[in-house]
Structure 1
Amino acid sequence: MTVADIVLLKRYLLHLDDFSKIQTLHADLNEDKKVNGIDLALLRQAIANQN
Structure 2
Amino acid sequence: MLANISHELKTPLNSIIGYNNLIKNNLIRFNSLNSSCQSGLTEWLEIVNQMVIIYCL
What TM-score bracket applies, with the shorter chain setting the length? 0.3 to 0.5
| Structure number with larger C-alpha Rg | 2
Higher relative contact order (CA 8 A, sep 6+): 2
Larger helix proportion, structure 1 or 2?
A: 2
